[in-house]
Structure 1
């Protein structure tokens, strides 16, 4: 498994004139919630005192995954040169036979560490993450609003979408259809068909509609649903079949004329390459956290570009979680025309900055050094080592 031999280097090492030795990496947690969420940070410190920090996104998983982070991931990076991060991401997979754990829990932990180190490296170099990962190709990212609900009626869902489109200027929307890994059962009888029909009628032809089934269907039913989506000019059909059923997903993609997107729960480089080469998908959709971070995600995008396949970053996160996929989308060579943005309105806050919101359907990519996020110093002081 030598990914570096297949894909040209991503991290621009020549920016750094001297080693950046990793002295410490720690998981921090606030003793209180902010809104409805627990807050975890991963902080990296170099031997010269440079600091990188990231929110540990997918925070609901940290409580279960942290032993892997602390026992099998962090120890590998200590004492290493952060400039070699690209090879370190490959090396940690072999460390202590981590390949035996090579699924979503492991790669989430790697992503958290990688992001804190990229923040550190960016601050050392005085450049944004996009600039040190090959260069920023686009300074702003068009978004599609992503509604994450299946518990609403078609009428309420479309009314919500219409309101948020007016507020954000978004040119695209994504609705949840089916029932989520539900063996062909809809969230409510007739909801999928009625939702898509009403959305197209209400929003008109100028708004791009996308549909996410979260693996709700077998291939036969997915094709039937896909024909209905095609009749309403839906732009892509996301995860029509369970994510592990690659043959079924490919069959759906082969039969339908509309684009099929998948990959948010994929963690294997080999499987992603196979999906791309065999044209199982029309749009690659890696999740920046689940798949292990920026470097692995950019590798997928570059591989997809060779096959003429677009990439869009899966990202239902809100708050500071909006920032990081924007950086990734700014430097991949083959972006889909829109990238995911949680449709729920984002409140102003003083615990992190910037609060990124779309204007005229796009969001500007932060250009500050590193990840471009700052956190309230009081909160960072109150965050304690999590053991």
Structure 2
């Protein structure tokens, strides 16, 4: 079997609100680049990557993988990810690996999870991911902690989720801490609480808020301050586990993070960590050093979510509910539409490979939608309410 072509398309899907974060605003839609890897045996594998329009970047890699066997992932990784440093992009390679594993599973008639060692669970618990919103359903913006506590309760009741994470670094840190305090009061001691300012807070602010939150027995404090040094400094002064999807977010930084005692829990991400197989490599290191494992979300659509679910299902030590922006999407590009939540979980897709297929009518529709809306990564995540605003790391 040989790869004979790759096809790339960019699509955008509306959200039910504009989602604020510490570097701007998702302007009412998410966008993804969809990859199709075509083989000479008529099997096509699907991949997906975020970060704006990646079509040209992926096409630049096409000469490196056409003619390759999709089972020879070590060689493909060497040619795509290791050979020329200024073309090296773990996120692009991960989309290719995802598609090749989809091909392998389809060729063998086995789910992707079987290629990673086999599932130890058939469904993955997910969280209520909380964002401060503009233009929320029903109108208005989220202004105070009570608004997000109400959203958390709503998601608990409608999706069955049993944990939450607040995307912080948007409002006053004290007001954001109050969101968790209200959720604890409303949803009880067994409901999981997390907070993630994405490294924007100063060490002093992160320590102050962390010490305030200690009484809530939260699951973890994610990227409280900037960089390995920032996380390590906060970790020394609070009694809450420190998690990260930023520092480290690549293998080169994993050993320094462990030596510095900068992290307790690493959030896996298929793209940062070089595909599903790279996530398994990461887990092996984390298990060796008794680091916790959780699952990160990158605003994915159904293709990448399927890959995440398959990968997570094969990790016995992943005992945290997974991140997902998925409940903000109004639709999906896969056949059958949005994957359903049941009792706070999403089922691992069945069938060979990823277990999902593209809905071509929706692909065409959301390709047109992308062309109308454009690539907001190219113009920065602008805040429509504050046109002159820009993020400041350590400013709080």
TM more than 0.5: yes
Alignment of 1:298-317 (within 5 A): 298-317=280-299
Cα distance in 2, alignment partners of residues 167 and 281 from structure 1: 33
Deviations 1:309-355 (Å, cap 9, x if unpaired)? 12112114254143221111111242132111237455466853363
Q: Does 2:71 align with 1:83?
A: yes
> Which among 263, 280, 304 is matched to residue 281 of structure 1?
263
Residue pair 1:277, 1:307 contacting (<8 A) in 2 also:
no
1:188 matched to 2:172? The reply is yes
Task: Tell me if 1:208 matches 2:208.
Answer: no
Name the CA shift for 1:275/1:207 in 2 (closer, same or farther; >3 Å): same
- Select 1:294's aligned residue among 276, 282, 287: 276
Residue 380 of structure 1 and its aligned partner are, at CA, apart by 5.8
Relative to 1, partners in 2 of residues 1:325 and 1:152: Cα closer, same or farther, differing over 3 Å?
farther
Q: TM-score, normalised by structure 2?
A: 0.79
Q: Which residue of 2 aligns with 1:176?
A: 167
Point out the more displaced range, 33-42 or 152-161: 33-42
Measured in 2, the distance between the counterparts of 1:126 and 1:355 equals 24
Cα 1:218–1:39 change in 2 (3 A) is closer
CA contact (8 A) 2:32 2:52 kept: no
Query: How far did 1:271 drift?
Result: 0.7
Structure 1 pair 218–381 and aligned structure 2 pair: CA distance change class (3 A): closer
Matched, 1:223 2:236: no
- Bigger shift: 358-367 or 342-351? 342-351
Using the TM superposition, give the Cα deviation of residue 304 of structure 1 relative to its aligned residue in structure 2, in angstroms.
0.5
- Return 5+ residue gaps in structure 1 as ranges: 1-19, 180-186
- Residues 3-62 of structure 1: per-residue CA shift (max 9 Å, x gap): xxxxxxxxxxxxxxxxx32221221346xx5434556421111122211123x332x512
Which of 338, 342, 348 is residue 355 of structure 1 equivalent to?
338
Partner of 1:110: 93
SS at match of 2:49: coil
Which ranges of structure 2 fall in alignment gaps of 5 or more residues?
Answer: 15-28, 134-141, 372-396
The secondary structure found in structure 2 opposite 1:76 is helix
**Which has the larger displacement, 115-124 or 286-295?**
286-295
Contact 1:351 1:375 in 2 (8 A): yes
The Cα RMSD (Å) is 2.7
Pair 1:162 & 2:144 matched: no
Describe the superposition over 1:224-283 as per-residue Cα deviations: whole angstroms up to 9, x where unpaired: 1111111222110011012xx202211222332211111247553121233245432110
The residue that corresponds to 1:74 in the other structure is 62
How many Å apart are 1:101 and its aligned residue? Answer: 4.5
Structure 2 CA distance for partners of 1:196 and 1:218, relative to 1, 3 Å: same
User: For 1:326, which of 285, 296, 309 is the aligned residue?
Assistant: 309
1:94 partnered with 2:82: yes
Give the structure 2 partner of residue 15 of structure 1.
Answer: none
Following superposition, the deviation at residue 286 of structure 1 comes to 3.0
- Any idea what SS the aligned residue of 2:126 has? strand
The 2-side partners of 1:285 and 1:81 are apart by 31
CA contact (8 A) 1:112 1:289 kept: yes
8 A contact 1:265–1:291 mirrored in 2: no
Q: Distance in 1 between matches of 2:173 and 2:222?
A: 20
What number of residue pairs does the alignment pair up?
A: 345
Whether 1:46 and 2:39 are equivalent positions in the alignment is yes
Q: Secondary structure at the match of 2:236?
A: helix
Structure 1's 90 and 312: CA in aligned 2 closer, same or farther, altered over 3 A?
A: farther
Instruction: Please give the alpha-carbon distance, in whole angstroms, between the structure 2 residues aligned to 1:343 and 1:136.
Output: 22
Match of 2:24 in 1: none
CA contact (8 A) 1:302 1:333 kept: no
Contact 1:302 1:334 in 2 (8 A): no
Describe the shift of the 1:285–1:37 C-alpha distance in structure 2 as closer, same or farther (beyond 3 A): closer
